[in-house]
Every structure is written in structure tokens, then in C-alpha cells.
Amino acid sequence: MTDIDYDCAGCGRRHEGADGTAANPWPLLEFDRPEAFLRMSPWEQLMRTRSTEELCLIDNGRTVDCYLTGFLSLPIVGEQALLLHQLWVRVSEEDYLDLVEHWEHPRFRGDFRATLANELPGHEDSLSVPMRVLAPGRLPPVITPEPGSGHALEQEAREGVSRQEAELRIRSMLLEGPER
């Protein structure tokens, strides 16, 4: 495959010829909100949710679903490159409150169980995959598949994905546009 050209939401510039190396990295595969939020009507989003770039709450009447965003990295087989995702996971209300209370404390080391809350390219069955969230105080949470989940994402996190597969996933996200 050829290198990837993209407009960067982070810096506002156009990047041409991204090849996944440290000198010319691929774009971050970024999800704006959890899938449950994205599937709501604009009115429901306004009336039933509270959300920031890092946290999201969805009121279901009797319960509240709690979400947070973090980073998942998948190694590229045989290379010093990573396919990086910024995605959402659902955590328990207790874990959510613990994280929010201690988020800014530099010595906080949260370790939470979660479920994936986005459909990842190459994994249309990824909603609700068991995940772990490691929140190292003041830094963005690191998200990894739960060991023993049996999902293909767990194997990819351990063994990596091919360059060709990584590029296909990046291109599919770029085609979907910024509303993901």
C-alpha cells in the first residue's frame, strides 16, 4: 500500500505520506464519543447525557452508564510502529467516581475493569469486549484487552497486526469522517 495523507485534527495541518514511523506517524484512530451516545438522537444527547472530551455519562432513567476515554496501542508485526486508538470504555459507577475523584493526583494508580464502547475497524464485534483501564494519575488512561477474553483484539494487542491491515483500518476511519 502507499503512504497515507490526512488532515490532522490535533495540529490542523495536512500530513502527506504518513508511513507509521516515528518520523512520519499515522493518524490517531479517534472516536468522539461512545457508540451508545452516537446512536442517540440530538435531542436525547442533549437531555440524557453529560459529556466532556474525556468523560461521558448517559442517564437511562434508573441507572447511569459511565464512560471514559483512553488509549489502546496495537504493535505492527516486525516493526517499531504502533496503531494508536483513542477510544471509549464503559466502567462501573464506583470506578468512575474513584477515577474522577483522584484524576489529578500525581500518585494515583487506578486499575479498572471495563468494556469497549466503540466499534473498531476490523472488529465489527468489538462492542463489550472486556478491557482493563490503567489510569496513571494526570496522564491519559491506557486501555488494554482483558487477558483471557478470547477476542481477536486480545491476540492483536499481544502479537500485533500486519502493516497492510493497519493501513486498511486507518483508511476506513478516514473515509468515515470526523463524526466517529
Confidence of residue 57 (pLDDT cuts 50, 70, 90): very high
Q: Cα–Cα distance between 25 and 112 in angstroms, integer?
A: 29
**Residue 177: predicted pLDDT:** 57
Residue 170 lies in a domain: no
Sign of CA dihedral 87, 31, 159, 23: negative
Q: Show Cβ contacts of residue 89 under 8 Å, excluding neighbours closer than 6 positions.
A: 67, 68, 69, 70, 114, 115, 116, 117, 131, 133, 143
Q: Cα–Cα distance between 167 and 17 in angstroms, integer?
A: 12
Residue 12 lies in a domain: no
Residue 42 lies in a domain: yes
Residue type, 53: E
Query: Structurally, how many domains does the chain consist of?
Result: 1
Lowest mean pLDDT among 28-37, 53-62, 168-177: 168-177
Per-residue pLDDT reduced to its tens digit, 149-158? 889 999 999 9
**Residue 114: predicted pLDDT:** 97
Q: Cα–Cα distance between 66 and 99 in angstroms, integer?
A: 11
Per-residue pLDDT reduced to its tens digit, 117-131? 999 988 878 898 999
The residues pairing with 163 across neighbouring beta strands, listed in sequence order, are none
Average pLDDT over residues 108-121: 92
Predicted confidence (pLDDT) at residue 176 exceeds the cutoff of 70: no
Residue 81 lies in a domain: yes
Q: Cα–Cα distance between 121 and 166 in angstroms, integer?
A: 9
Residue 171 lies in a domain: no
User: Residue 48's domain spans which residues?
Assistant: 28-159
**Residue 25: predicted pLDDT:** 84
Structure letter (DSSP) for residue 124: T
Residue 169 lies in a domain: no
Residue 100 lies in a domain: yes
